[in-house]
Chains A and B, each alone.
Chain A
């Protein structure tokens, strides 16, 4: 009797209740989210209490509530200034993506061309390109266009390097198979090389997105006319630290929106490739 009663216990791992599964998923999610959430709450709470108690100078580090308050009160101005930054970075990364992927494809077409150009691109990747910002302003003026061009220049290199690396990522056996099947170069590229390159290209784009934001903000720092970079620098010069932190917070928002945009693009492209 008792051994029959024990039977269902063996069956449970094979056929589990849907709700039980969901509960397990939730428990694991809580385990993942709870510790950082608690840590963040403790940090923010401690920060708030310390500045309420007067232990932190409001000028150097205003309380989180004060920053949030400033963010809400100046939201109109901040959103207006976020526009050139957001569109500049978006234009920058899109142009850099188009140019970078195109150059990566062109260079990978011929082995000789790649051996000649690739080291130069890698060297460019390593040098501090940020130092060239004043030269770009000299060439293209101090407006929106100069910021975008500079951001294209900065975001371009990670995309090219990722594209070239990605196009070499297809296993040699696959290429050999294609060749023995007399596949045309174009078809081999479309069906083998490009799909293998996609993860690399997207990781290059993710780096490129942050670089594009940095490029625009740096241009705004130097010319100081519009944009979140201008607001941040303006706030720093006036010791309005709450406004400064609110500006940084909004800039994070800009970065995250662009980042999510490319993540979504990645998902869509992968799905398109899967369904073929």
Chain B
């Protein structure tokens, strides 16, 4: 049988397509490298004191020189951030699902959560330290608290954005509510959920860092603040570099999870 929908010939020649793809990669990388080179050149030419603005080469030297120490401080920060993110995901998804089953609960509690969500949540950090103490428990609580809201709100929006006619179809077919949730509402909410998870993973790291600024004797936040007190600016930037790399890696992991879920659902 001859297929009637033959693929249209590509408008751009293969060479142009390759050039376009290379361009999309080369331009941003070139810009980033250019910024770093400019930074290096400026610090060398104007002899900025290392205390104020260390050159990228100084930062790299500080990173390799203190690598063991930085790694050691990275572990508690990442542990708390990831555990907080995981807890927030569990709570957020569970609560949003519960609200999608019970309308009264949703009408009563959801507006309150939206209002609480408006408060700058970083400001709650000292309160959690009063409640839970200055140990890792308070950092975990703060990370969970901060990461909860985007996940919960995104999941609520996703469950509500389900195609009405699909839900009505399920009702017409007398599908149970649980099956409707599992087969229709949950898959429809996935893009929203992952958008929320992506925000939440960066917020979880921020929450732990702020808590470590305020009270901690370990972790990257503590290292940054201590290095600031010792005027070791190169160590601060080395710690921030590690933080950025890990933050991007976490974000990438959530993104990979999204792609995996999509593929699994599509098949």
Contact = CB atoms under 8 A, between A and B. Distances in A.
Interface of A: 31-32, 35-36, 38-40, 43, 60-61, 112, 115-120, 123, 126-128, 130-135, 137-139, 210, 213-214, 217-218, 221-222, 228-229, 232-233, 235-236, 239, 241, 244-245, 247-248, 251-252, 255-256, 259
Interface stretch (B4-12, B127-135, B169-177): B127-135
B23 A115 contact: yes
Given A123-B248, A128-B206, A259-B118, A217 B123 contact: yes
A236 B206 contact: no
Chain A interface SS verdict (over half): helix
A131 B243 contact: yes
A57 to B, nearest CB: 10
Interface string B29-72: 01110010000000000000001110000000000000000000
Contacts of B256: none
A126 B248 CA distance: 7
A60 B123 contact: no
Contact of B123 (A119, A130, A248): A248
Contacts of A251: 119-120, 123
Interface in B100-157: 104, 107-112, 118-120, 122-127, 129-131
Contacts of A39: 108-109, 112
A236 B129 contact: yes
B202 A128 contact: yes
A128 B126 contact: no
Main secondary structure of the interface of B (DSSP, over half): helix
A135 B124 contact: no
Contacts of B126: 221, 232-233, 235-236, 244
Contacts of B124: 248
Interface stretch (B85-93, B180-188, B213-221): B213-221
- Please indicate which of the listed interface residues A131, A139, A252 has the most CB atoms of chain B within 10 Å of its own CB: A131
Given A117-B31, A130-B122, 12 more contacts: A35-B108, A36-B107, A36-B112, A112-B27, A120-B31, A131-B220, A134-B213, A138-B52, A210-B118, A217-B122, A222-B225, A236-B126
A119 B35 CA distance: 13
B213 A222 contact: yes
Contact of B247 (A126, A217, A229): A126
B145 to A, nearest CB: 13
A245 B127 contact: yes
A241 B224 contact: no
Given A35-B107, A118-B28, A127 B244 contact: yes
B251 interface: yes
B24 interface: yes
A119 B220 CA distance: 26
B205 interface: yes
A94 B194 CA distance: 31
A147 B244 CA distance: 22
A245 B127 CA distance: 8
Nearest to A259: B118
A183 to B, nearest CB: 25
A193 to B, nearest CB: 22
A128 B205 contact: yes
Contacts of B159: none
Contacts of B224: 131, 134
A37 B120 CA distance: 22
B115 to A, nearest CB: 8
Contact of B118 (A61, A138, A255): A255
